[in-house]
Amino acid sequence: MNWIALIFAGIFEIGWPIGLKMAQNPGLNKLPWIMMSILSLAVSGSLLYFAQKSIPIGTAYAVWTGIGAVGTLFVGILFFQDSASLPRMLSALLIVVGIIGLKIF
């Protein structure tokens, strides 16, 4: 159950930078996107708090930030025309490999 909470915490971690990015769009109302960011932060942090009751803090934090970082990278590529260069993809892969290593060892 705590690992599921941690995965969802990481997914919600993706939400706040998206909200902040969308709030920068001059054609959109900023308030809903800023509220989305705040809500995402609150849910993400709460789920992380719950998850680290049984998951070591270093592992939980690495998984949480890793899901957020890699997830945000892919959202940026898919929706904001961020670069999908080979070095960026290899770097994201290294983050994933590091997270898996923390879980295994």
Enumerate the domain spans of the chain: 2-104
For the chain, the helix, strand and coil percentages under 3-state DSSP, each to the nearest 5: 80, 0, 20
pLDDT of residue 37: 98
Give the residue ranges of the chain where pLDDT is below 50.
none
| DSSP class per residue in 43-78 | HHHHHHHHHTTTS-HHHHHHHHHHHHHHHHHHHHHH
pLDDT of residue 103: 84
pLDDT of residue 102: 86
pLDDT of residue 105: 84
pLDDT of residue 31: 97
